[in-house]
Chains A and B, each alone.
Chain A
Amino acid sequence: MSDGARRARAIRAMVVSHMRASYREPGGLFWTYGFPILLSLVLGLAFRSRAPEAPRVAVVGAEAPVVAEKITRGGEVVAKVEARDVAERALRTGKIDAMVITEGPAVEYRFDPTRPEARLAKALADHELQKASGADPKVATKDTIVTEVGARYIDFLWPGLLGLGLMSTGLWGIGFSLADMRAKKLLRRIVATPMRRSDFLASFLLVRVVLLLVEIPPLLIFGRLFFSISVRGSPLALVLTLLLGALLFASMGLLLASRSQNPQIVSGLINVVSFPMYLGSGVFFSASRFPPAVEPFLRVLPLTALNDALRGIVTDGAGLSEVHRPLLYLLAWNVVVFALAVRLFKFR
């Protein structure tokens, strides 16, 4: 048997063993499939698109019935005539969004400008009142209503969950299992065989690639069936992105588990590394929601690049050329992290 063939045989045997072990771990299945599916169901339902409720205002004063009728005419605002004290109480407790007072020469709006709904209620009520009172619009406009697949929260969330999944399966699946192997001296037992150490590490990366083939299709099918999300961009770009992401986080798992004898410390490290990406890499909300001062730091995180690329491909229909920048960036991360991991990794 040639040396190449026997090395290939050893690596294949390692990969098969890892796969068996990971699929016999019930927790593993949950984190791969259950978690993203559950999370997307919960968040997808919570943030599903629906018609917003019409703002509610109370109208008080002498002219109240007339004004209320005018405000209601367009169907955009719900207006009710109320006694002054009732209306004031309703405003205080948020039962109505604004109060319209019809006493004296000017119509008075009372509302809390720090509440977006209140400002909307005031603006809409005013607009309806002006229109019904015969004011001419200065500029001609028309409304086109958009409720398209691709603009929903779930469309934003879903690619981010794929990225998050790659991160946690890589860091935990590789990092924690290596830490555990080291603590149990299983690493040492493997070192006592002719298997090459570099082949041993490579087998872990290979496992992630193979698992990717098993993990991703069910998630894509789920997204399609439940949320009608389809990949609009280049499938090749998607495969490449997933591959780079999976390999990067697998190497990062190797790196985090490269030294410590104690699995607790490794799990601490994994938490420290993943937490900023969990929140800051635009999984649940866009990274641009952070103050501008923080954003450059979030741009550095590899999960941010991965999510950008995934979102570009899945939602915006990007091809390879459009996402080449985040992909090159991920590639650079891969090279650096893997080189460090191989250098620092201790087998004993």
Chain B
Amino acid sequence: MIANDVPAVHTRGLVKIYDDTVAVAGLDLTVARGECFGLLGPNGAGKTTTVEILEGLVDRSGGTVEIFGRTWEADERWLREQVGVSFQTTHLQEKLTVREILELFRAFFLEGKPVAQVLEEVRLVEKADARYETLSGGQKQRVAVACALVGRPALLFLDEPTTGLDPQSRRALWDVVHTFREAGGTVLLTTHYMDEAEKLCDRVAIVDHGKIIASGTPAELVAQIGAKEVVTVRLAPRDDTSDDATVETARGSLVEALEGALGVVSVRREPDALAMTVRELHDSLPALLAILAARGESILGLTTHRATLEDVFIELTGRQLRE
């Protein structure tokens, strides 16, 4: 049915303008078949809007969208059979049980998965006969994902599928995605968890202000910021009596000095710490410590970790996630 060489998702110049907001500002995206693609970005970046346009649920203001080489305008009936969606927030029928809801959604599709199997996958077997209204937030979220799976789609759109889930449920959901991909499925998901993106996604794109500002495999993105390690130091508050403005100036000049040190890519101020991304620890660490010592700063703690997608994200969007 689906030609092998067409991408699962292909969009060019995607634009969405609400009355006074440009939610998506010219976005290009291609997701190959069998791939898991992650959209990352701060709140309001335009992830949900993009996904919902791709799902054929929101009209776009400009650009082209093809899913498996077809358009929503021409082939909605066929595409609906291929696509499973899970919204960022979903309300289902309060008075129905989980099993009844899944049976309902199963009935909409030509082919589907046995409800019992889906319940197993999303770990809701125990809650199968509980009414939707009695479920916890995380359980409701898993029902939404189950509704997306029960039609046995070829392409799965998951908008923040693990937000609000406990660690076990998150892992269970990762398993769901793995199983789905083993059967040849394609996934487009959004997430605010960088570890999740690194674990699940073959490729990710970072979206900000409705545009993709970086994309590639997680490793490529980390390499792209040119840093391998992140050094975080906690400094003791300065006990002199100088006013806030003086302290501020002192900190500012300290940051500048650190940025000039050997192998340092960037320095970021955190509430009571400084985080420095560096190329090589053995080059930069002595230099950094020397600068701090020369300025009479006393170090309360020092940690290092290998640069992750999270560091890339913060570097590129200038904002801490989950702020």
By a beta-carbon cutoff of 8 Å, the part of chain A in contact with chain B is 1, 6, 9-10, 12-14, 16-17, 20-21, 24-25, 184-186, 188-195, 348
Contacts and interface: CB of A to CB of B under 8 A. Distances in A.
B151 A193 contact: yes
Nearest to B77: A194
A13 B57 contact: no
30 contacts: A1-B110, A12-B107, A13-B103, A13-B108, A14-B104, A16-B104, A17-B104, A21-B93, A21-B95, A24-B95, A24-B131, A185-B87, A185-B89, A185-B91, A186-B93, A189-B85, A190-B108, A192-B55, A192-B56, A192-B57, A192-B80, A192-B83, A192-B85, A193-B80, A193-B108, A194-B77, A194-B80, A194-B109, A194-B110, A348-B58
B92 interface: yes
B91 A184 contact: yes
Interface in B48-88: 55-58, 77, 80-81, 83, 85, 87
B108 A195 contact: yes
A194 B81 contact: yes
Contacts of B174: none
A193 B90 CA distance: 14
A322 to B, nearest CB: 42
Given A9-B107, A21-B93, A189-B87, 9 more contacts: A13-B103, A16-B104, A17-B100, A17-B104, A20-B100, A185-B90, A192-B80, A192-B85, A194-B81
Contacts, number: 64
Contacts of B93: 17, 21, 186
3 tightest A-B contacts by CB?
Answer: A13-B107, A184-B91, A193-B108
B156 to A, nearest CB: 12
User: Interface residues of A: mostly helix, strand, loop or mixed?
Assistant: helix
B79 to A, nearest CB: 9
A14 B58 CA distance: 24
B88 to A, nearest CB: 10
Given A1-B110, A186-B91, A191 B57 contact: yes
B132 to A, nearest CB: 10
B57 A348 contact: yes
B61 to A, nearest CB: 15
Contact of B109 (A21, A190, A193): A193
Nearest to B150: A193
Given A185-B87, A193-B105, A17 B92 contact: no
B208 to A, nearest CB: 26
Contacts of A17: 93, 96, 100, 104
B159 to A, nearest CB: 12
Given A186-B91, A194-B109, A20 B96 contact: yes
Nearest to A25: B95
Interface string B103-121: 1110111100000000000
Nearest to A189: B90
B124 interface: no
Nearest to A13: B107
A186 B131 CA distance: 16
A25 B131 CA distance: 12
Contacts of B109: 193-194
A10 B58 CA distance: 24
Contacts of A1: 110
A260 to B, nearest CB: 17
A186 B95 CA distance: 13
Contacts of A193: 80, 105, 108-109, 151
A193 B105 CA distance: 8
B147 interface: yes
A155 to B, nearest CB: 38
A16 B108 CA distance: 13
Contacts of B105: 193
A185 B83 CA distance: 18
Nearest to A21: B95
Interface in B139-153: 147, 151
A348 B83 CA distance: 18
Q: Which of A14, A17, A189, A193 has the most CB of B within 10 A?
A: A193
Contact of B107 (A10, A20, A188, A191): A10
